[in-house]
Amino acid sequence: MILRAIDDGNGLVGTIGSFTIDGDREVTYWIDPARWGEGLACAALLVFLTVATIRPVLARVAEHTFGSARVLARAGYVDIGSETSHADGLGRDVVEHIYRRAH
C-alpha cells in the first residue's frame, strides 16, 4: 500500500493511495468537497502514477460519481466494464465502473 497527502501549497486538501485487492492494483483518492472542481484530483493522480509504478493501476467509480469519472478520463483512464456491489455507506447496491489507464 502507498498513501500520500495531497497538499496545495497551503495545506492538506486530500489523500491519494494505491492498494492490492483480489490481485489487482487500484488507486483511491479523496479531495475536500470544498475544493472540488479545481483540478486537484487529476493533478495529484498524474503525479501519484509516477510514484506508484506497479501496472496496471485500476480505479473504481460508483456510477453516480460523475466528477471522479471525469478525473480518470483526464488522466488517460478508460472504462473497461462494471459490476454491482453493496455499498455499506449508502445501504444499497451500486454499479461501479472499472477503469484502466490507456497509456
Q: Strands of 2-7's sheet, edge to edge?
A: 2-7, 12-21, 24-31, 57-62, 92-101, 77-87
CATH code of 97's domain: 3.40.630.30
pLDDT at position 32 is 96
Residues comprising the chain, all counted: 103
Radius of gyration of the chain (CA): 13
Q: Which residues pair with 101 in a beta bridge?
A: 77
Q: Would you state the pLDDT for residue 48?
A: 95
Our count of domains for the chain comes to 1
Residue range of the domain that includes 38: 2-101
Q: Tell me if residue 103 falls in helix, strand or coil.
A: coil
Identify the bridge partners of residue 68 per DSSP, sorted by sequence position.
Answer: none
pLDDT tens by residue, the chain, 103 residues: 899 999 999 999 999 999 998 899 999 999 999 999 999 999 999 999 998 888 899 999 988 888 999 999 999 999 999 889 777 767 788 899 999 997 7
Three-state DSSP state, 78: strand
Please tell me the predicted confidence (pLDDT) of residue 40.
95
Q: What is the pTM of this model?
A: 0.85
Q: What is the helix, strand, coil percentage profile of the chain, to 5? A: 25, 50, 25
